[in-house]
C-alpha cells in the first residue's frame, strides 16, 4: 500500500483529524485513487469498531477515529465526484442530532459503526433543523435518515422532521431510524418511524434490515 495511504490509516488509528485532513489533500494532489483511500479508512474504522466490540478499545477511541475519518472524507468525496466516480456502499445514511440537542457521542458512535459496516454516512452534527435534514436527504439521495435526541425536550423534533418528510413527498423514499436516551420503542412507533434501537450495534443491524441487506 502506498505510503500516503498508510499515513491516512495512521491518522485514523491515532485519532489525528489534522493529519487525516492534510493527508487526504496530499492524496488528491498526488492523484492517488480516492476510492482506495476511503476503502483504507473504512477498513481501519472496521478494525477499531471490532476492537471496541471486544472491549479492547473504549468509546473515546471509536469517537476519535470517527472524527478523524470525517475530517478527511469531504476532500476525498469531492475528488470522487470530480472524477465522475462513485463508491460502492450498502446505502447512504444521513445522521444527526435534532434541533435543540447538542449531544454528539451516541450519534457519533452510530455513525462510526455504520461506516465500519460499509454504509456511506453523512454526519450533519448536532442541533440540526428539519430543513437541513431534508436538504441532505435530497443532495445525497439518502436511503436512511437516522435522528438522535437525548432529551425529552427535543424528541418532539423527530416527529416534526417526519411530518416535513411527508409534506415534501420524501417519506416514502427514505427509511427513518430514531434513537437517543429519551426515545422509546413506543415513541418511535407513535411518530411513524421505521425503527428504533437503544444501542449503536443494534442500530447498525436495524439499518441493514431496513434496506434488506
- The model's pTM is 0.87
* pLDDT at 138 exceeding the cut of 90: yes
- Spans of all domains in the chain: 3-83, 92-210
Here the cell at position 128 is: 440540526
Using DSSP, state whether 58 is helix, strand or coil: coil
Per-residue pLDDT band for 53 (boundaries 50, 70, 90) equals confident
Given 1.10.1240.10, 1.10.3720.10, 3.40.120.10, 1.25.40.10, which CATH number is that of 3-83? 1.10.1240.10
CA–CA distance, 209 with 19 (Å, rounded to integer): 35
Give domain 92-210's CATH superfamily. Answer: Cobalamin-binding domain (3.40.50.280)
Q: What pLDDT, on a 0 to 100 scale, did the predictor assign at position 124?
A: 95
Using DSSP, state whether 115 is helix, strand or coil: helix
**Span of 25-29, 83-87, 165-169 with lowest mean pLDDT:** 83-87
Amino acid at each position: 500500500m502506498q505510503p500516503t495511504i498508510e499515513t491516512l490509516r495512521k491518522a485514523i488509528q491515532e485519532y489525528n483529524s489534522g493529519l487525516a485532513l492534510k493527508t487526504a489533500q496530499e492524496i488528491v494532489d498526488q492523484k492517488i485513487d480516492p476510492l482506495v483511500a476511503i476503502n483504507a479508512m473504512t477498513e481501519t474504522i472496521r478494525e477499531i469498531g471490532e476492537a471496541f466490540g471486544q472491549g479492547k478499545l473504549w468509546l473515546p477511541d471509536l469517537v476519535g477515529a470517527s472524527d478523524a475519518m470525517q475530517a478527511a472524507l469531504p476532500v476525498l468525496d469531492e475528488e470522487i465526484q470530480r472524477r465522475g466516480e462513485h463508491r460502492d456502499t450498502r446505502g447512504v445514511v444521513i445522521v444527526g442530532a435534532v434541533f435543540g440537542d447538542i449531544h454528539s457521542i451516541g450519534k457519533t458512535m452510530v455513525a462510526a459503526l455504520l461506516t465500519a459496516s460499509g454504509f456511506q454516512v453523512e454526519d450533519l452534527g448536532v442541533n440540526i433543523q428539519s430543513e437541513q435534514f431534508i436538504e441532505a436527504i435530497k443532495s445525497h439521495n439518502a436511503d436512511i435518515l437516522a435522528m438522535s435526541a437525548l432529551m425529552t425536550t427535543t424528541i418532539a423534533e423527530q416527529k416534526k422532521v417526519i411530518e416535513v418528510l411527508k409534506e415534501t413527498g420524501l417519506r416514502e423514499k427514505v427509511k427513518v431510524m430514531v434513537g437517543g436516551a429519551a426515545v422509546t420503542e413506543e415513541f418511535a412507533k407513535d411518530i411513524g418511524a421505521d425503527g428504533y434501537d437503544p444501542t449503536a450495534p443494534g442500530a447498525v443491524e436495524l439499518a441493514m434490515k431496513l434496506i434488506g441487506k
